[in-house]
Amino acid sequence: MMLSVSHAITPKIRLDGSAMYQHSDFNSGGSSAADELFFGSLMATYQFNPFIAVEAGYMFDRLDSDLLSGFRSYTRNRVFIGTRLTY
pLDDT tens track of the chain, all 87 residues? Answer: 999 999 999 999 999 999 999 998 888 777 788 889 999 999 999 999 999 999 999 999 999 988 776 688 999 999 999 999 999
**In the chain, domain spans:** 2-26+33-85
Give me the pLDDT at residue 30, please.
74
Give me the pLDDT at residue 52, please.
97
DSSP the chain: -EEEEEEESSSSEEEEEEEEEEEEEEEETTEEEEEEEEEEEEEEEEEEETTEEEEEEEEEEEEEE-GGGGTT-EEEEEEEEEEEE--
Query: How many CA atoms within 13 Å lie on the side-chain side of 84?
Result: 14
What is the model's pTM?
0.79
DSSP 5-18: EEEESSSSEEEEEE
